[in-house]
Amino acid sequence: MEEARKTFPKVVCVDDGSSDDSAAEARAAGAVVVQHPVNLGQGAALRTGLDYALQDPRADYFVTFDSDGQHRVEDALTMVTMLDGGDLDVVVGSRFLDDRTKLSPLKRLVLRAGVVFERMSSGVQLTDAHNGLRAFNRHAAESIVILQNRMAHASEIVAEIGRNRLRWAEAPVHVLYTDYSRSKGQSVWNSINILSDLFLK
């Protein structure tokens, strides 16, 4: 968090009903903490964070950034710089534009299958449909509707990019998998739950 604030002074952390000391640690590092009284899921946390950040009329760009240490600040800065060129509404991080991110064969297979599904369902030709590192301009942040509270929000965001005809691009990012991030991340088999969220809600 402290490293992120060196580049991005305004950081909003959504405490999604956590039972540990993460909210206090985020505040101590200088972030604004917005709390859910109970756990609602990552989709709900993203929507809460974006809604809070959008209240600042001076904010032009918005980055979603997982708090488990997977994402690098320098990648986020590159993505915001791409938006600042004025020709894009959304920049999505991709693990598959270079070979820096090391994935297990099973995780790579599941993520590739997700890409095929997203391309068929949304028409948005991403190479990495479920990367949590994304950057939006204000128009995109206001336009994208997130109704899926849990992990299916990633598919929903891709669909919203297509539905709103937002100008998008991908940027190569290095996702860092550690024991801690793996313990916080979703199982590759959770893709079944994501599909059930999308089709049953």
What is the band of 57 on the pLDDT scale with cuts at 50, 70, 90? very high
- Please say whether the structural domain 59-194 has been given the CATH code 1.10.287.130: no
| Rg, Å, the chain Cα set | 16
Choose among 138, 137, 140: nearest CA to 162. 140
pTM of the full predicted structure?
0.81
Domain ranges of the chain: 59-194
Distance of alpha carbon 110 from alpha carbon 106, whole angstroms: 6
Q: What percent of the chain has pLDDT over 70?
A: 87
For 28-52, the pLDDT digits (tens) are: 989 999 999 999 988 999 999 999 9
Structure letter (DSSP) for residue 130: T
Distance of alpha carbon 73 from alpha carbon 102, whole angstroms: 19
pLDDT at 125 over 70: yes
